[in-house]
A and B are shown apart, each in its own frame.
Chain A
């Protein structure tokens, strides 16, 4: 990495100087601030960043002067995806009392949701401990931006043995007009022993202004806990989104992640999952769907340090136009992680000549009694399958649409929340419809 001065790092320095009101203590912030003070951003020469075009971010000096009004209609459409859920709405990083559901009944149910500004000292300690424990292997500058500039955040606590029937739906809306805006939501999740939770994080934009979104999530699951974690990105074509998620799964815990990158100028999603005890399970799923000049970058780091854990990853990309996809998945099986079962699959469908994908599934194994497999494919629509459908009377466009939808559906059909599955399949179908209509 090389020192550069750019608008964005200058802007970050100004924010740090101007700031007085951070919730997090120096223990958490100092390391991040020192990193930020160096002002070092990765360049295309850094192996891990050589595919990711950061230019637009680095040229930005975010400034939010005006914003569009978020209407109830806009919110309701988003809520349709999860009509039964408990909804929390953040607009340009600010919690919206108006649009969020009342919280009291959730506390009774053993689920407690607090903003950082509301934390008592015990909670604050838990938050900071979780963040410090969850240091990312990929020590990238963006998580330091998130933490170093964090003014607020969300803390989700689930008491032990609580099996919440309610799904949490966390909606992040950017509604900036004009200049580039910036948000850096921090989220800390603690799942107590044998507790179970489903949560949906959704990132969306109102209007077409440029946005830099730099979220970070720190998740800690205690023994036997289960978390199903959905992340949906449907942002405008000017949004640059770089997210870091760190998950620690204790003995017999089960973590499921479903990521849908369906819209933005650039998204880079970095997901790290580590087992901190035996018998844990992780299921990681994802779809990245890009058109035009979009860049979608899906990264996973699966750390097996304990025996008898399993991880199963399946990510699929559909790229059209000049869009570019990246899948970079590392599975690390450490010496003591005997009887590990780790699977990783990445399949990509290129719908145009200029679309491209770089896939790099990696497996590093230091234990001897393990079952591991990984594989990646890049292909076009199968002409034999197209012909088969056509030979039955189905038009070429419809046939192409059926096949691309089917390609995505093999992932999305695993979404257990049916309303969410429908919502996402409709979104995917709408994008594919546009793509297929324009290209065939």
Chain B
């Protein structure tokens, strides 16, 4: 752009330049960063807030049948609009006491093993699966590592990948990395309007790529982790709209919307044979990252 001619504009130019610099400032709150805050808000409804509305007869089932019962992952059976569904999801907890009990929604290997076991029960009884995803990520503690966190997650992915019953995931708050994917590798994936779903936390991304945790707002923007962006990228199937001001305090309203979408989706998926279901699921995930347009790829090695 050519420089503006004449006198009297210097001030305006300086102001615009200042604004531009501020926009480039690392810590500036971006739209994505605001969504991250909403998605993580303590008051936002969680699995146990939704479940009484989704399935009033919900019975929680416990334990991984190996040696533990992880409270960060909740699962059980309940009827969704008159038909039994296996529900599995993360529970972060609201107050400090519950958050500690739930380990802030960060599951250990026993949590993922509990999920596997419930998924397999669903398959055995020919019941569909609905997951509600809300976790900052898998628990990074030493005990979780020793217990084989990576192995527990990959095995959970494998169980979901081959499950012979319909699976639907709702990202209700924070979809953090592999710990979220372990419950979200489903036939259909929906996000609540203000939920986020990301490969890494914006803070972690900022610390690694910008070498400055204060760049998190900018990292949040770059990662394209909001529901709208992910829908546009074709990585999720739909968005559950939230009332003005977000889902906080509106568990009932949101549950009704989730329920309707879940019922419609399961009705559609029930029409498929289990073999068709598995083939379609496989196709879907094998196609992630392929270019539909002209070949942008790299070539043979060597």
A binds B: no
Interface of A toward B, CB cutoff 8 Å: none
Interface of B toward A, CB cutoff 8 Å: none
